[in-house]
Each structure stands twice: as C-alpha cells, then as structure tokens.
Structure 1
Amino acid sequence: SAGVSLFGLAALLLPEQFPHYLAAVKSLGLGPALIYSAKFALAFPLSYHTWNGIRHLAWDMGKGFKIPQVNQSGVLVLALTLLSSAGLAAM
C-alpha cells in the first residue's frame, strides 16, 4: 500500500499530465507480457485488501470462526484475488 500511495502522490506532484507519461511508457517498447505483469502487480494488493476486508466484515458479524471455515474463506480470498487482479490487469 505504500507503493500505491507513493504512486498516487507522484501523480499529483509531477508537472506533466497523464497522457505525457503514458506516451513515455509506450515509447519504451516494453512487451505486452511485461506491461500485463506490472498492471497485475499493481492490482494484486488492492484486490487482496478488498476481498480480505469483506472476509473481516463476516468475522465482525461473528461468522466463519471454525477452522475449516477459516481455511475455506482464505482459499476463496486468494482465488478471488487472482481472478480480479487478472481481470483488472487485462483492462
């Protein structure tokens, strides 16, 4: 989350507008696999915190405290994180 915060702060403080920096990244000629990987790396922590936050809301309501349920919800969070990160990176 520190990286995302720094990225957002830099976006506010840098002198040029977003299209300028987007053109600079495109001019580097990076392959689609590298760009997808970078987008996935940015989307993963945001997705994980979102899904795990929903998991914690269920815990706040007193649901899912048995060990099998904890394990199942953990696997579900990881699966949803991977799927949503892949979808966001594909945008």
Structure 2
Amino acid sequence: MAALLLRHSARQCLLLRPSLCLRSALPMGTTAKQEMERFWDKNSRLNRPLSPHISIYGWSLPMMMSITHRGTGIALSAGVSLFGLSALVLPGDYASYLELVKSLSLGPALIYSAKFAIAFPFMFHTWNGIRHLAWDLGKGFKIPEVYQTGFIVLGLTLLSAAGIAAL
C-alpha cells in the first residue's frame, strides 16, 4: 500500500507539477570524495592505524589454533574424500598400492615423516575438538585457561602424532 502511494505521488510530482518537485529538492551537502577526505583527515588527526589487524591484534596462540583447527578440518575432509574416490576409481586394491610404496625403498626417516605428516592434522583436530567440547560445557574461558589448554593440546598432539607415526 505504501509503495503504491509513493509511486502515485512521484508520478504526480513528475508529470503534473515538475516545478514543485524541483523546488523541494535540496543539493547534497558533500560529495563522496569530500566525505572520504574528511574520514582520512580525522583518522590521521587521531593517529588511528590503517589496519587494526596489523597494529592492534598480534598473532596469539588462540588465534593460530582456531585457524589451524579450521584448516585441519578442511584438509581431513578433503583427504578422506580423495582417498574414498581414489579407492573407487583406481584399478587394483589397497595391498597393491602398499606394495608399490614398499618397492620404492624409501628410508625409515622419510616413511616416519610421511606418517607423522598424516597423523598430525588428525590428532590436532581431535584434541582441539575435545577442547572445544569443554568450552561447550562452559569451562576454560578465562584467558590463562585458554592458553594453558592450548599448550596442552599442542603437547598431546605432538606426542600422539609421534606415537602413531612410530607404529
């Protein structure tokens, strides 16, 4: 209803009495360029940083762990999907590909490193997920506890990934 009334009054204004419309129109006070200049002048005068993420927010353990948790979740999801698709599409079975890797005669250090690289994201995502479950229960929100549980997650991740890689 309001849209119809607005449309009707705009038509009347433009068709019947354009001089009335122009008389009530006011020029803009400032242009967009002037507004931007005012904005940057004010920020310069107040010594505000150009980007708050660079100067105000430094890299912290909780920030890095949050980013890593999301990254490991994406990587694990993509890895499981690719592994499943390759099992469907590629010829042969898992044992034949395992024999292929064994025939490459890779050194034990390289094999351990590869196993650790596969185990690390899984273990980090698992331990950090348990940490998030504790947060869902309302525990561990104080800043010292956030850092303490972060270091515990990192320690458990390294130990368990190293243990799995040693198997």
| TM over 0.5, shorter chain | yes
Residue equivalent to 2:102: 26
Asked if the contact 1:64/1:70 (under 8 Å) is kept, the reply is yes
Is the 1:4–1:42 contact (alpha carbons within 8 Å) kept by the matching residues of 2? no
Over aligned residues, Cα RMSD in angstroms? 1.2
Find out whether 1:78 has 2:154 as its counterpart: yes
Partner Cα distance (2:162, 2:132) in 1: 23
Query: Structure 1, unaligned stretches of length 5 or more?
Result: none
Report the Cα offset of residue 17 of structure 1. 1.1
Aligned pair partner of 1:63 in 110, 120, 139? 139
Deviation of 1:85 after TM superposition, in Å, equals 0.5
Paired with 1:90 and 1:68, the residues of 2 have a C-alpha distance of 33
What is the Cα deviation at residue 7 of structure 1? 2.6
Does the 8 A contact of 1:40 with 1:86 survive in 2? yes
Corresponding residue of 2:114: 38
Q: 2:163 aligns with which of 77, 84, 87?
A: 87
- Is residue 58–residue 64 contact of structure 1 (8 Å, CA) maintained in 2? yes
Q: Give the Cα separation in 2 of the matches to 1:77 and 1:28.
A: 35
For residue 89 of structure 2, what is the aligned residue in structure 1? 13
State the structure with bigger RCO (CA 8 A, min sep 6), 1 or 2: 1
CA shift digits 1:45-91 (9 cap, x unpaired) = 10011000000000000000000000000000000000110111111
Alpha-carbon separation, structure 2, partners of 1:23 and 1:10: 17
Quote the sequence identity (%). 73
| Counterparts in 2 of 1:12 and 1:86: CA distance versus 1, 3 Å | farther
TM-score (normalised: structure 2):
0.52
